Amino acid sequence: MSKAAPEARSVASIRDDVAEGRLKIVDLIEETLARIERLDGQLGAFLWNDRDRALERARDLDRRVKAGDASGTLLGVPVAVKDNICVSRSPCTAGSRILKDYHPPHDAHAVERLQAEGAVIVGKTNCDEFAMGSSTENSAYQVTRNPHDLTRVPGGSSGGSTAAVAAGLVPVSLGSDTGGSIRQPAALCGVVGFRPTYGTVSRYGLVAFASSLDQIGPIGTSVRDVALVASAISGYDRRDSTSLPIEARDYASSLTSNLEGVRIGIHRDYYESLEDEQIRVRVKLAIQELREAGARIIRIDDLDLLSRFAIPTYYLVANSEASSNLSRFDGLRYGPRIEGDDLLGTYRGTRGLLFGDEAIRRILLGTFALSSGYYDAYYKKALQVRRLFREAYGAAFEKVDLIIGATSPVSAFRLGQKIDDPLTMYQCDVLTVPASLAGLPAVSVPCGFTDERLPTGLQIIGPPLSDAAVLSCAFAYERRSGFKGLLANLEPAS
């Protein structure tokens, strides 16, 4: 399974090679598209590639480089975009049949920012339908496989974007993280996945799943690459009223491997209580590394009482919002429509047949939680508990600067293993949803392999707007551990 990892080309090296005339963007994009064509059949990461447009864009950028009027931190960098993020004139299905052939008229803010920095979008990647899932198996279109073991899931819901990076098809990609949909697949695929502070990246153009939790973020093979993309896509956008009025940040240049005096919290849920011994050992080794790097390791207990409420709270909030967010998909204005005898029949036909099981399950759960008579017991209660999570994190971050632990309680599981058992599937998110509920920045960095050669991830969580500190800690750990770029090689052995 583990062949020699393909050479990972960093974002910075691409940009520098392009800017200094050593690399033509069109050659790089040709090469990227050829690799996708050659390897993605095994992987199933991409739903859509627009070869012609990517090459046209590459040639245009090359002309501008030659004319000396091209710049940008991502100049020439091929990027894959999760299919729930709008790219104008490209299909955007969010992994659902209800959006089959839908072409949005608008670019997501994050996509505009990527393009402004000179990136080239090479395709849209597979995901769980409306980002609902932890294995990418809920996509209506195809299965995506984990490049480290093609019989296993890549995690989800950003499974396509993550697998594409882990297989070396693209250096970086965009995903979205509602309850862990960037961090969990990053852990399962052995790459870096970053969820920025809620509000630092505009949600404009992200197909809404749970608005108060959704956040776009980057996936890459190194912390520096991820930091470069995070910097590019962050910053205020007036089209998103929950966008924070802050300047775009330069996370990449503030990366430091010095952890001297940094107070790092550990919590039993993310460490000692982990059932999977292999993951527990990886976290233990990571803690040692960080201690050796100068960090002070401090045990925290502020979340003790809350941790068992994380999953119910998250699913009540997320599903309630989803039940409303998904109401617009009625087949009347866009997307396919299944005509009934009357209006109700058309609604029933379209929504009943074109949404997948998981989407329907969540719409029903959310509708129930918001119904009169149940609102107080479920949705309102969940909002109250959510506030307690924020307060508990607030208390914890008085004592520590960052909190670390496992990203996922399990490593990559087999395709089909959990798909028929939603509750077990939901448990995959137990370590990622707390940070989501509190809107915190969190990153997953490769943390070595299990005995089965499956990647594991170390999660680093910080207080709101501590994105730079979170990435710096990840950078320091990446430096010391040497786990940078756990790429899988899918090329046939020569």
**Cis omega (within 30 of 0) on the bond before 161?**
no
Q: Which helix (H) or strand (E) holds 51?
A: helix 51-66
Beta carbons within 10 angstroms of residue 88's beta carbon: 14
Closest among 487, 443, 13, 447 to 217, alpha carbons compared: 443
CB closer to other proteins out of 324 and 417: 324
CB closer to other proteins out of 128 and 321: 321
Q: What are phi and psi of 62, to 5 degrees?
A: -60, -45
Q: What are phi and psi of 220, to 5 degrees?
A: -160, 180
Q: Report how far residue 175's alpha carbon sits from residue 158's, in angstroms, rounded to the nearest whole number.
A: 5
Q: Are 313 and 437 in contact (CB under 8 A)?
A: yes
In order of 42, 83, 175, 313, 371, the CA distances from 160 in angstroms are 12, 9, 9, 27, 35
Shortest Å, Cβ 167 to other proteins: 27
481 is catalytic: no
Site residue total, other proteins (CB under 8 A): 45
Q: Which positions from 149 to 188 touch other proteins by CB under 8 A, shown as an x/- string?
A: ----------------------------------------
Contacts (CB under 8 A) with other proteins, residues 315-334: 320-321, 323-324, 326-330, 332-334
Question: What is the number of H-type helices and E-type strands within the chain?
Answer: 15, 11
Q: Which positions from 253 to 282 touch other proteins by CB under 8 A, shown as an x/- string?
A: ------------------------------
**Contact residue for other proteins among 92, 166, 228, 233 (CB under 8 A):** 92
Contacts (CB under 8 A) with other proteins, residues 202-231: 203-208, 210-212
For residue 406, the cross-strand partners are: 458
In order of 41, 91, 181, 345, the CA distances from 193 in angstroms are 24, 24, 9, 43
Stretch that binds other proteins, among 39-47, 131-139, 177-185, 370-378 (CB under 8 A): 370-378
372 binds other proteins (CB under 8 A): yes
Residues 6+ apart with CB under 8 A from 30: 55, 58
CB closer to other proteins out of 329 and 483: 329
Stretch that binds other proteins, among 57-65, 269-277, 365-373, 484-492 (CB under 8 A): 365-373
Q: Report how far residue 2's alpha carbon sits from residue 138's, in angstroms, rounded to the nearest whole number.
A: 27
**Contact residue for other proteins among 54, 77, 80, 85 (CB under 8 A):** 85
242 binds other proteins (CB under 8 A): yes
Q: Which of 158, 173, 176, 181 is catalytic?
A: 181
Stretch that binds other proteins, among 268-276, 301-309, 364-372, 442-450 (CB under 8 A): 364-372
212 is catalytic: no
Closest among 86, 165, 179, 189 to 132, alpha carbons compared: 179
Shortest Å, Cβ 205 to other proteins: 5
105 binds other proteins (CB under 8 A): yes
Residues 6+ apart with CB under 8 A from 63: none
157 is catalytic: yes
CB closer to other proteins out of 304 and 376: 376
Applying CB under 8 A, the residues found at the interface with other proteins are 84-86, 92, 94, 99, 102, 104-106, 108, 203-208, 210-212, 238-242, 320-321, 323-324, 326-330, 332-334, 343, 347, 367, 370-372, 375, 379
- Catalytically active residues are 82, 157, 181
